[in-house]
Structure 1
Amino acid sequence: MHLKGLWPASGAVCIFLTVSALAQSNSVGCRAETLHDPERTALTCPNGVRIVAEDGTRFSLVDRTAAEGPEAVRLEGQALMLEVTPGAVEGGFEVITPQAIAAVRGTKWAVDVVNGKTSVFVAEGRVAVSREAGAPVVELGHGDGVDVETGTEPLAVRQWGAARVAALLARFGE
């Protein structure tokens, strides 16, 4: 799903990914760096995308255009944080999970997949989230989050409490 036209052209993007994709990261020209306290891996890609994956995250990078750097991430488990330079990825950047698709052009955000649920939190900017391609989209802004589980009920956007936000960001050393 591409949510083109939903995002302003300015801003930076942050998302969360997994370490098992490090071998694949070389195929899209990303450079890996190990970070500590807590243990995590940062991928810096030539197209202006930076992905931080907490230890044990399961994800793969998606290179749809054979351009330098990924246009999306498939996240299977745990969490990623992304930063995307404004305008770096034509059409925006996506995180695809078993339960949801989150798309952004300029923001800082996190995606977490645990126990059959995808949680998306926006620290800065705006993010569009849907269950699947063509499904109704909700827009999240600063401080908003949404929990996506299998089903058909409408997605409920909520302001996340300070404790939940702090616990998530601490997993990325923030």
Structure 2
Amino acid sequence: MHTTLRNLFVAALAAGLIPYEAALAQSAGCAISRDAGARQVLSCPGGVKVTAEAGASFRLTDRNRDGSPDSASLRRKAILVDVDSSQHTGGFQVVTPQAIAAVRGTQWAVDVAGGKTSVLVVSGSVAVRRPAGEPVVLSPGEGVDVSSSTEPLVVRRWPAPRVAALLARLGQ
């Protein structure tokens, strides 16, 4: 029985009936739903919730194999990550082509587009750095745009219209 279900799952994935991101989220132990905006909402063990913009290209990973994802790899579009530090042990990070954003417990959005990564903190604090470089720490309402250049990262308080536009894409 188990083999038959697995074969059906693999066939549905190959046929494109199950999005690749959904398959990866299932393997990370997350429950997947869709909201009215066709966004994926992944509710994961250990107090991790990820809301992905429609068409986002991402993958969740449970590197320490404790049953809760502790990392997301984001290649395109935006995700909103909400980590409940009272339930989630260790940190959580989002890795993009340009940046690594890591926290212990907070809510933040990461957007990859046009050769840059933008990170916005909704609550808590987030350390952001290039793969090789010094981190900057963001507080609520602050954001940073990370390109592939080597210029220092500049933390800015994002204007309300920019915050609203990004969060609207994520159903907030």
What's the TM-score once normalised by structure 1's chain length?
0.85
Deviations 1:110-162 (A, max 9, x none): 000001100000111110000015x2010000110000000111000000001
Contact 1:33 1:42 in 2 (8 A): yes
- Residue 87 of structure 1 deviates from its aligned partner by 4.2
2:72 maps to a residue whose letter is V
Secondary structure in structure 1 of the residue aligned to 2:50: strand
Q: Which residue of 2 aligns with 1:31?
A: 31
Backbone CA RMSD of aligned residues? 1.2
Of all paired residues, the percent bearing the same amino acid is 50
1:44 maps to a residue whose letter is S
Structure 2 residue runs of 5 or longer lacking an equivalent are 1-18
- Residue 48 of structure 1 deviates from its aligned partner by 1.1
Of the two, which has the highest radius of gyration? 2
Runs of 4+ in structure 1 off by over 2 angstroms are: 87-91
Q: Which residue of 1 aligns with 2:75?
A: 76
Secondary structure in structure 2 of the residue aligned to 1:94: strand
Instruction: Provide the C-alpha distance between the structure 2 equivalents of 1:26 and 1:123, rounded to a whole number of angstroms.
Output: 26
Paired residues, what number?
154
Task: Report which of the two has the higher share of helix.
Answer: 2
- Residue 107 of structure 1 deviates from its aligned partner by 1.4
Secondary structure in structure 2 of the residue aligned to 1:121: strand
- In structure 2, do the counterparts of structure 1 residues 20 and 116 end up closer, same or farther at CA, with 3 Å as the change threshold? farther
- Residue 91 of structure 1 deviates from its aligned partner by 2.6
Which of 1 and 2 has higher RCO (CA within 8 Å, sep 6+)?
Answer: 1
What's the TM-score once normalised by structure 2's chain length?
0.86
Contact 1:20 1:57 in 2 (8 A): no
Structure 1 residue runs of 5 or longer lacking an equivalent are 1-18
- Residue 88 of structure 1 deviates from its aligned partner by 3.4
